[in-house]
Amino acid sequence: MKVLVWLSEGTWPSCVDAVRALETPAQLTLLHVVDTDIEEAMRDAYGGLLSRHGHDPARDLQVLTGPAEQALLDDAAARLGRPCETAVRRGHPQHEVVAACADVDLLVCARDHAGPGPKSLGRHTRFVVDHAPCAVLLVWP
């Protein structure tokens, strides 16, 4: 059984704890997606409003996010306590997660907010739940 765990800042511990509770042996992959919307907005502002001289702030953001995403994956792997693979994708999170689900049996992801109701799912998570081509285990944060 192949299991993909979508790690988001703030909710990843719940996902990892849910996977730890699974008793069946599984091939686990921890996935983090870097949302590039902010980089694209910074690049547009840089090119349009701030002139084109100097340092592109979008590149600085890429350099800064690299260690943070690696720390998140390392913390999640340590909390999991089992052998696993890690993966990082860049782009629109909802599309990247659905694409990563192409050959897995189960996706584990978390709601975005703790309260019940439709607002407990953000737009990215709602899209993934609606479009994932595999079973989805949706956990509370």
DSSP string for the chain: -EEEEEE-TTTHHHHHHHHHH--S--EEEEEEEEE-HHHHHHHHHHHHTS-SSS--HHHHHHHHHHHHHHHHHHHHHHHH-S--EEEEEEE-HHHHHHHHGGG-SEEEEE-SSSSSSGGGS-HHHHHHHHH-SSEEEEE--
Q: In whole numbers, what is the pLDDT of the chain averaged over residues?
A: 88
- What global pTM score does this model have? 0.84
pLDDT in tens, 42-60: 777 766 665 666 677 777 7
Share of the chain above pLDDT 90, in %: 59
pLDDT in tens, 103-118: 999 999 999 988 887 7
Band of residue 36 on the pLDDT scale cut at 50, 70, 90: confident
